[in-house]
Chains A and B, each alone.
Chain A
């Protein structure tokens, strides 16, 4: 990796521990405010909750320390803080609904999901010793992703909720398999692109100055992608299809380095958006609600009611918010899920919204930094895919409620109510931690996994795929030449470009 500088990086486990203390303080502080202001006072449940939160933080930190000692120290505390904040706000929404006579137990369920998500992430870190193992399952992941996406369309299994058929019933619980499909597709795209990116980038006819790949190279990718898009359109899951489309274009761009893909992608997107608005009434309604949200006739027709109520909530929050528990977030439909960001913005104000956005931004940038740091192309693409999908998801959700783009239903990672989203996002965090461990271990002066080696040795080891040596068994399982070949190709492409 020509661009990676062998700078000295601290392992960061101590930083992670300190940041986790802050994250716990945010989680517990928010919960305490909610209980005090909206829940009729702080009770004994806060004590039990605090013990659980701190125990989970200690457990997560310990697992990372043992199994991914060089992993990025910011990802875990950031995800922890967002999850804790989300739990507090969802609890607050429960109180808000209760005050209006609607009994809900979103927080109780979400607490279970958070525990499952964090334990699931620990399990992934514990079991998956090297992310490159996943490359073996490139096509499996593609098929699994498609199956997961299609499950809700199967009669008897799938359930339609609020017009979108994206849920399945499992053990009496609703599950959104699409959330997991997102990770599966990231793995599939990464695996496929890393194997075929040279041919995708270099072979094929040139049309209008854009080199189109040969159909046999692009074929499988295009089939899976088009199928997934079709399924999501059929499910009326606009937000997810937007996210999925953007993710695909971004990963294609990163893999091939061809800006032309982005231009083609954006052009197709624009055409698709116009076509969808013309063909589908529900899409046209979204556009209408977006462009003319405050127009009385649009508002009275109910199209923009939810959006406008969310805007009112955010406006009443102003710069510093009403304070946790003192606003009226319960007035907005789906305040606990799709509209959790306006709920947060109302009670924590613009300040709180900025802080949360900054936290997300840091997470995404750490994911992208991991992608730059890791040397194998597969790992790079997974990290880019996971990081960019999170960024895009937040853009779609927050952009939707602030009228930057039309409103589409998507969950806000870690914050919004929903088990599938919670578990899937924690698994994504686990994958990022795993990749960052590899990325940073090699760039760290500190010896890896107990081995004592001087800094120079560690740096020298860089050149010959360090960290993999110890995992010879896994290395053998990984397709031969995974690590050096694509990167060499990348450099070759870069050099060729430079030479021209």
Chain B
């Protein structure tokens, strides 16, 4: 019987070799393919289960990963989630990533090249891969002020340090809580995501930089004014300001807000035109200057080019070769002119910074898990839209707007605020979008801000930038100035 037993033992050997080959096939040859299978939740666990670096504002982590006793090991938590959602975005096993969670992902999860040596150290020490911490330029007080001032209205606020381009506040309302998307049940996460998607108020859209752009209304007059000043105009230059401006090539006329007249003589100074936001004067001025002058000024301010702050910014738009009546319409921020709130904040910031536009940025420093700084943003000049003299002249004009013009609601005791209102028509039956762009203190600006409230917020067709948006800008400026005073 020994011979068949020997043969049988050879068969047994063959059976085991087959098993070993099959094991190698599954665990080595096909491992990657099986790991990449979308049905494999382990890949999600691995991806979402590592220690992810925190996002830090003013020294406090607003987003962090805390250990949790479930298969993911870590839970992404959002402190004041809705307040910062427009910046942080979400990190979810359902819809994935957005905001800084997406754009800074490789740093946050530790896979970035900059963290190579850190990873090598972790490999040697046998510790888990750890992500870097991302420190933002956001000023918590300004962010909170902007968010509270907007309330439950649909809108956005962007505040910039004009000297550096550092973004001090970026708010989009209505917001959402990223924590509700960070739950560790993909079914729950997807359910929340679907409800946010179908929400009429579009909470997932970052109104400050992304998706929709808005007609900037009268705030665009700053661009036209800057073009005029660059072309040799001065604040005292008298320009035409008819009660009604009949547009060439058409029978249409262009009127002022409420059909008012800009002055008894039909001629006012440039300063006066901006102070009372005279539509006819700026429409005529634009036609006189010609579209190329305005277009190149707008391009210098950033129109037409995208930005990474490092969130992707939707480029603001200009009409393509408009005819004269279209130029007139465009001059008052209507027709095909579109801008993001960030773009308008950049306009204010460039004027505040003596005509030099700094590149806006959100991330100040990135530190590895050992708190060594591995990336630090240095302020970068983006362009020089105008001369310091032109900027100074425009500053004086904008101060007049707040002092005794359309933007008086932005006045702050003891601080000279420079601003510009905007009220953009959106259609015959919908209330206008209201804008306010400003910077302060006018003589030594530390903050430039743009405020947009969609469709006038809650006061309907009576809404103006001065009534609705200016108080919000004021609140943000006050917060920044108070914070600076307190910080010093």
Contact = CB atoms under 8 A, between A and B. Distances in A.
Interface stretch (B25-33, B214-222, B288-296, B389-397): B25-33
B8 A315 contact: no
B70 A100 contact: yes
Given A312-B34, A399-B22, A368 B9 contact: yes
Given A315-B34, A372-B2, A360 B16 contact: yes
Interface stretch (B41-49, B311-319, B320-328, B351-359): B41-49
A350 B22 CA distance: 10
A403 B8 CA distance: 23
A314 B89 CA distance: 34
Nearest to A250: B8
Contacts of A349: 27
A78 interface: no
Most buried by B among A1, A314, A387: A314
Given A394-B19, A395-B18, A395-B19, A315 B40 contact: yes
Contacts of A294: 37
Contacts of B249: none
A398 B4 contact: no
- By secondary structure, the B interface counts as helix
Given A313-B42, A316-B42, A361 B5 contact: no
A196 to B, nearest CB: 14
B20 interface: yes
Contacts of B12: 361, 364-365, 368, 387-388, 391
Contacts of B23: 314, 345, 350, 353-354, 357, 398, 402
A254 B4 contact: yes
A274 interface: no
Contacts of B13: 361, 365
A319 B28 contact: yes
Contacts of B71: 99-100, 328, 330-331
Contacts of B33: 315
Contacts, number: 145
B1 A350 contact: no
B267 to A, nearest CB: 75
Interface residues of B, number: 39
Contact of B5 (A99, A345, A384, A398): A384
B34 A253 contact: no
B70 A380 contact: no
Given A313-B42, A345-B23, A395-B15, A380 B5 contact: yes
B3 interface: yes
B379 interface: no
Nearest to A313: B42
Contacts of B32: 315
B2 A318 contact: no
Contacts of A403: 22, 26
Contacts of A381: 1
A100 B71 CA distance: 8
A311 interface: yes
B310 interface: no
A188 B414 CA distance: 106
B8 A311 contact: no
Contact of B42 (A99, A312, A354): A312
B68 to A, nearest CB: 10
Contacts of A377: 1
A350 B8 contact: no
A32 interface: no
The 5 closest A-B pairs by CB, nearest first: A315-B34, A402-B22, A350-B27, A316-B42, A312-B40
Given A254-B8, A315-B33, A354-B20, 7 more contacts: A254-B4, A257-B3, A312-B42, A328-B41, A350-B27, A398-B23, A494-B3
